[in-house]
Amino acid sequence: MDFGKMVGESFGYAKEGLVGKWMKWILLLIATIILMLPLMGYALRVYRGEKPAPEVDKWGTLFIDGIKYLIICLIYAIPLFIVLFLALAPMVTEVMAAGGDPAAVSAALAASIGTFLVGLIILVILAIIIGMFSSIGMVRFARTGSMGEAFNFGAISATIGKIGWVSFIIALIIMGIIMGIIELICMLIPFVGQIISFILIPFITIVEARYICLIYDSAGTA
């Protein structure tokens, strides 16, 4: 898998789709403001492999697709919520049982920190796995129109197997680092950094969606 080529193609796709086409960019910013639902729906169009970047139209469809996108994300997030709860519950219980006494609270935190750290490690590992499955599942949903295909774990596993589990993880890490750097740069810009970060949301969304699309297509799966 040529990671550099995929990153370059993804940024080029977003640049071609938005730079100089400011009305499309503005419409996607409006889509961001409206609970991001239309923007999620737009990402599904990118997942379908449309090239160049699709127009921003049929807002009713964008809303409906965005809601479906959100539902799929929430379902995938359920195991993460459960693990997080199990990791935090002992700590919260111990602190509450301490009755507000500082020494007892400190002792309670020390006693439960090990369980919390183990839970945190499990949470990170689970998040990576879920991120892989949900990404491929979302593309399957986008291309088939069936929400059930987003949870077709057998087909998703087969696709990831063709991509390569290690290659997929590396690909996600690379994009995560790039997006983290962009966000960090925006945070470091005084006063207008948050505004720039908001303006870049449509561009970043398209880059990430196209990147996942290219990873999916590298498996040769329809």
What b/e string do you get for 105-140 counting C-beta neighbours within 10 Å, with b at 16 or more? beebeeebeebbeebeeebeeeeeebebbbbbbbbb
- pLDDT tens column, 55-98: 999 999 999 999 999 999 999 999 999 999 998 888 888 778 77
Q: How confident is the model at residue 222 (pLDDT cuts 50, 70, 90)?
A: low
Strands (E), the chain: none
Q: How confident is the model at residue 14 (pLDDT cuts 50, 70, 90)?
A: very high
Selection from 161, 155, 127 nearest residue 141 by Cα: 155
Q: How confident is the model at residue 213 (pLDDT cuts 50, 70, 90)?
A: very high
Q: Give mean pLDDT, residues 2-16.
A: 96
